[in-house]
Amino acid sequence: MSETRTLYYVHDPMCSWCWAFVPTWEQIQRELPSDIEVVYLLGGLAPDSDLPMPEQMKLTIAGYWQTIQDRVPGTQFNYDFWTQCQPRRSTYPACRAVLAAKAQAKNSDEEKILEKAMIKAIQEGYYLNARNPSDFDTLVAFTREIGLDAEQFELDLNSESTEKKLNDEITMSRKIGAQGFPSLILKSNKLAETDCVNAKNAKSAQWLNVPYDYNDASVTLRSL
């Protein structure tokens, strides 16, 4: 008996490793079995903060970028970000921006399109063009660039509804066993031999952490 399985992609739009995973993740999605539906979940990397990022933290994160480029060849970063912007350790605004973009969708298919469009705008703006997604004005600019209603976006960005949705997604990502970003979590009621590990519910084997490799989509695809 066939059933639809759900693959949760737990991420943060300002997570450097998520950016490095983009090409492989896109290939995985293109080649997924037909019974698997993909759902994005915001994990929330860093809460709101108006404080400038300490110099040591800047150096540490810039070092992460270099490590990523060594481990995932072809990943691009614009290091001008560290001198041209005022970094803050705050990714929740970018997470809310994804939800506020989805709020302008007319149906579930359009939700997915707008979700991906905003994630792409944030990632490319941040990592390629040295723009700061922690800043309100930058997020509004991204909204205009992907063709959304900027005034509505401003209303939705910090609304109680958006805040609740973000908190709900963060809570769910933890509940299902996300371990860092990105995480791939498969929901299935099937009991089957797979390469997935760390079942969250041993009785039903519903939540399974799916393995992945930043450079090899087949690691994930073989486990599904």
Per-residue pLDDT of the chain (224 residues), as tens digits, is: 457 899 999 999 999 999 999 999 999 999 999 999 999 999 999 999 999 999 999 999 999 999 999 999 999 999 999 999 999 999 999 999 999 999 999 999 999 999 999 999 999 999 999 999 999 999 999 999 999 999 999 999 999 999 999 999 999 999 999 989 999 999 986 644 444 444 444 344 489 999 999 999 999 999 99
pLDDT of residue 143: 99
**pTM summary value:** 0.92
Q: Supply the range of the domain harboring residue 64.
A: 5-223
Total domains in the chain come to 1
pLDDT of residue 204: 46
**CA 83 to CA 26: how far, in whole Å?**
31
* Alpha-carbon distance values, 41 to 111, 122, 213 (Å): 13, 16, 19
Which pairing describes strands 36-42 and 5-11: parallel, antiparallel, or unpaired?
A: parallel
What is the token pair recorded at 31? 């080649």
pLDDT of residue 190: 60
pLDDT of residue 2: 57
* Alpha-carbon distance values, 16 to 44, 66, 122, 128, 150 (Å): 13, 11, 12, 12, 26
Q: Return the CATH number at 145.
A: 3.40.30.10
Phi and psi for 15 in degrees, rounded to 5? Answer: -85, 120
